[in-house]
C-alpha cells in the first residue's frame, strides 16, 4: 500500500513539472497601432513641389513615417475652402493625391491593424498647395476654438467669449471680421478685429463664423459654428 502511494506521488510530481495539471498561459494581447508623424507637406507650409497637371490642379505626394503595429493607413485630405474631404487607403508610407492649386488643405493619417479594431490618428496638419506664379497666399481659414460647435455655454456676467486661431504662410494677417446672429447665415457683427478673442452678449441660440483678412486683400472663411446658452 505504501509503495502504491509512492507511485501516485511520483506521477503527480511528473505531471506538475510538465504542466499537465496547470492551465496554459494566456496569450499576449495584440499590440495597438501607433500614430504616425507626418513628413511632407510640412505643417502650415507652402507646398510647391507638386507635379503640375493643369492650370488649376497638381499632384502632391503626402509622406509620413512608418507606424508600429500597423498594416495600413487611411489618409484624410480636406479642402479648407470648400470643406470637401476625401479618404484614401495605403499600405505604404506615402500617397499621391490630386489637389486644386492656390488652395489650402488639411491632412491626417489613421494607423490601422488587421488584428485589432483600435486605430491611432495623427495630428491634423495644414498646408497651402501653391500654383504656378503664385506670389501671395490666402490665409488658412480660422480655427474656431470656443464655443465648440453645438456646445451649451454658461455665460459669465451675461457674456460669451469667442476665441479662434488664425494662421497664414505669409504671416501677414491684418484683421478678422466676426459674423454672429441667431440665424444659420450670421450677419457681420464686428469688422477689423485684431485680436483672436471677442466678448459678445449671450443669446439663447447663436451662430458665428470668422473671416480672416491679410495685407494683400486675400480672405478665408472659417465656416459656421453654432452654440446655445445653458
Lowest-pLDDT range of 19-33, 79-93, 136-150: 19-33
Same fold, 38-129 and 140-229: yes
In the CATH scheme, what architecture does the domain 140-229 have? Sandwich (2.60)
Q: Is the pLDDT of residue 11 over 70?
A: no
pLDDT score at 24: 64
pLDDT score at 5: 52
Domain 38-129 matching CATH 1.50.10.20: the answer reads no
- Phi, psi for residue 8 in degrees, rounded to 5: -60, -40
Mean pLDDT of 214-222: 95
Contacts of 200 (CB under 8 A, 6+ apart): 159, 160, 161, 162, 180, 189, 206
CA–CA–CA angle 132, 135, 137 (5° rounding)? 100
pLDDT score at 206: 97
In this prediction, residue 4 has a pLDDT band, given cuts at 50, 70 and 90, of: very low
The domain ranges of the chain are 38-129, 140-229
pLDDT single digits (tens) 171-203: 999 999 999 999 999 999 999 999 999 999 999
Average pLDDT, the chain: 90
pLDDT single digits (tens) 42-94: 999 998 778 999 989 999 999 999 999 999 999 999 999 999 999 999 999 99
Length of the chain equals 230
Q: Is the pLDDT of residue 220 over 90?
A: yes
Mean pLDDT of 197-225: 96
pLDDT score at 28: 74
pLDDT score at 149: 97
Higher pLDDT, 214 or 29: 214
Q: Is the pLDDT of residue 38 over 70?
A: yes
pLDDT single digits (tens) 82-140: 999 999 999 999 999 999 999 999 999 999 999 999 999 999 999 999 987 777 899 99
Chain-centroid distance of CA 131 in Å reads: 24
On whether the CB atoms of residues 172 and 216 are closer than 8 A, the answer is yes
User: What is the residue-wise DSSP string for 83-106?
Assistant: --EEEEEESSSEEEEEEESSEEEE
β-pairing verdict for 51-52 and 57-64: antiparallel
Q: Is the pLDDT of residue 2 over 80?
A: no
107, β-bridge pairs:
77, 125
Amino acid at each position: 500500500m505504501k509503495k502504491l502511494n509512492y507511485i501516485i506521488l511520483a506521477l503527480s510530481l511528473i505531471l506538475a513539472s510538465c504542466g499537465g495539471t496547470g492551465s496554459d498561459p494566456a496569450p499576449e494581447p495584440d499590440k495597438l497601432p501607433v500614430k504616425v508623424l507626418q513628413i511632407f507637406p510640412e505643417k502650415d507650409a507652402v507646398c510647391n513641389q507638386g507635379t503640375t497637371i493643369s492650370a488649376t490642379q497638381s499632384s502632391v505626394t503626402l509622406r509620413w513615417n512608418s507606424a508600429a503595429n500597423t498594416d495600413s493607413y487611411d489618409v484624410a485630405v480636406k479642402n479648407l475652402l470648400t470643406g470637401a474631404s476625401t479618404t484614401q487607403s495605403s499600405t505604404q508610407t506615402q500617397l499621391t493625391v490630386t489637389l486644386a492649386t492656390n488652395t489650402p488643405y488639411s491632412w491626417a493619417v489613421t494607423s490601422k491593424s488587421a488584428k485589432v479594431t483600435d486605430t491611432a490618428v495623427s495630428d491634423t496638419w495644414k498646408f497651402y498647395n501653391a500654383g504656378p506664379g503664385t506670389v501671395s497666399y490666402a490665409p488658412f481659414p480660422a480655427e474656431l476654438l470656443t464655443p465648440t460647435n453645438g456646445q451649451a455655454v454658461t455665460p459669465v456676467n451675461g457674456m460669451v467669449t469667442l476665441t479662434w486661431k488664425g494662421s497664414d504662410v505669409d504671416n501677414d494677417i491684418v484683421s478678422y471680421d466676426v459674423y454672429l446672429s441667431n440665424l444659420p447665415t450670421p450677419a457681420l457683427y464686428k469688422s477689423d478685429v485684431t485680436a483672436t478673442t471677442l466678448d459678445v452678449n449671450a443669446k439663447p441660440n447663436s451662430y458665428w463664423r470668422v473671416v480672416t483678412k491679410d495685407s494683400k486683400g486675400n480672405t478665408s472663411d472659417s465656416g459656421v459654428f453654432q452654440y446655445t446658452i445653458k
